[in-house]
Structure 1
Amino acid sequence: MNAEKRRLIFERLAAAIPEPTTELKHSTPFELLIAVVLSAQATDKGVNKATARLFPVANTPEAILALGEEGLKEYIKTINLYPTKARNIIAMCRVLLEKHNGQVPQTREELMALPGVGRKTANVILNTAFDQHTIAVDTHIFRVANRTRLATGKTVLEVERKLERTVPRQYFKNAHHLLILHGRYTCVARKPKCPICPIADLCEYPDKTSEETFANSQKMVGTIKH
């Protein structure tokens, strides 16, 4: 894929998604950090329901430590892997207080040293909370990048590196959320919505869905909803 096609892809995605941002509800970098840690193998909707109860009660490292691990579990028990996440969050809050004065650090290395925080989570925090030009490759971005041929790779790190090299500079800040939202709602896993995709003519995916396939899938969705 050449540079001009990449530019057009991001130009169209930016037009189609005028407010590209996370769907995790938060008001501080710490709240975002907690939400992202909770979102692993969970939906943003499910995380938002849990944090809507948690954050009014505890939205600082001190307050979450005061809850304790068992107390925290009561707020997040609807989320996948909640026992492990509760344990990591409590440990993370201790480190934040002991090493960072309770503040969320602003470097990838410091973030990844926190319990429960990997490279993807660190990149989300750096991009969304601190406006740094990072790309966190989740399952949506990995799929979209490979499927469209924007950045092919066998690992998330390989895809991340290729996107860092090839995303047009003017779209780099929002590229992360543009690709996630496109993957979440249009370039979906099983039956991508190619007939209504704003970049279908630029995408190099060889197995695009047809109008008939798309129509049938929409009928099925309607049947399930009712």
Structure 2
Amino acid sequence: VVELDHDSAYQLLVATILSAQSTDRRINMVTPALFERFPDARSLAAADPDELEEMIRSTGFFRMKTKHLLGMARAVTAHHDGQIPRTMAELVALPGVARKTANVVLGSFFGIPSGIVVDTHMQRLSRRLGLTAETDPQKIERDLMAQVPRSRWIGFSQQVIWHGRRVCHARKPACETCPLAPLCPSAELGAGAEA
């Protein structure tokens, strides 16, 4: 499952925007107070930028994230009656929302398999597993969507990300304990290998 704590599509969207260049653990420390202060898109749209910056400072890149959060909340309020939209086109039209973020919200909250989440773990593992040679997230997603049945896109995204966080680490993959090692073309490279 998605490791960002959330109770609504709004909360998951905010948390996913905040998660850029940060850890889920850090985001889960910040969001309880943030969601108490700004429980929905309308209240966030009216937030004082300085107050919001201070609340999310520890997540990194807080000025840009503040700009994205305010822009997203204002657009959701103005164009979607305060409700998080349920289509890829509408989500990626929001400030601070690209395909990865939209795929997280659509798949993990709404159960809509719109694509495959391509974060840093997916980028690394899809190359190590020989599923793509691409480095661009959109090209990686295209390659994966062609190989993975649509009915598995949501689960596949979550499983690969989980595996990347717990087994197939960037600098020292645990190939000796990896259940995918017999199928992985990179496993023979051994621990510490970069793909």
TM-based fold match above 0.5: yes
Return 99-108 or 55-64, whichever deviates more. 55-64
Using a 3 Å threshold, how does the CA distance of structure 1 residues 64 and 160 change in structure 2: closer, same or farther?
same
- Cα separation, 1, equivalents of 2:39 and 2:185: 44
Look up the SS of the partner of 1:72 in the other structure: helix
Asked whether 1:175 is paired with 2:160, we answer no
**After alignment, is 117-126 or 174-183 more displaced?**
117-126
State how 1:105-120 maps to structure 2 within 5 Å: 105-120=85-100
The answer to which structure, 1 or 2, has the higher relative contact order (CA under 8 A, 6+ apart) is 1
Percent identity between matched residues is 38
Query: Unaligned 5+ residue runs, structure 1?
Result: 1-20, 214-226
- String of CA shifts for 1:64-106, please: whole Å, max 9, x gaps: 2343211211211111100111112112111111100001111
- Determine which of 52, 55, 59 is the counterpart of 1:79: 59
SS of residue paired to 2:179: coil
Question: Counterparts of 1:91 and 1:100 in 2: how far apart (Å)?
Answer: 13
Moved over 4 A (4+): none
TM-score (structure 2 length as normaliser): 0.92
1:42 equivalent to 2:22? Answer: yes
Residue in structure 1 matched with residue 130 of structure 2 by the alignment: 149
Aligned to 1:6: none
Spell out the pairing of 1:118-197 with structure 2 (5 A cutoff): 118-133=98-113, 134-169=115-150, 171-197=152-178
Q: How far did 1:150 drift?
A: 2.4
Question: Which letter maps to 2:120?
Answer: T
**Whole-angstrom distance in 1 between the partners of 2:143 and 2:157:** 13
Structure 1 range deviating more: 79-88 or 28-37:
79-88
Please state whether the residue corresponding to 1:92 is helix, strand or coil.
helix
Q: Deviations for 1:144-187, whole angstroms, at most 9, x for unmatched residues?
A: 00001123323111211111111145533301100111111111
2:183 maps to 1:205: no
Find the residue that maps to 1:67 and give its secondary structure: coil
Residues 108 and 122, structure 1, Cα contact 8 Å, conserved in 2: yes
Contact 1:192 1:208 in 2 (8 A): no
Task: Indicate the SS of the match to 1:77.
Answer: helix
Q: TM-score, normalised by structure 1?
A: 0.80
Letter in 2 for 1:61: A
Mapped to 1, the partners of 2:88 and 2:149 lie a distance apart of 22
1:203 partner amino acid: C
- Paired residues of 2:175 and 2:187 also in contact (CA < 8 A): no
SS in 2 for 1:53: helix
| TM-aligned CA deviation for residue 188 of structure 1 | 0.7
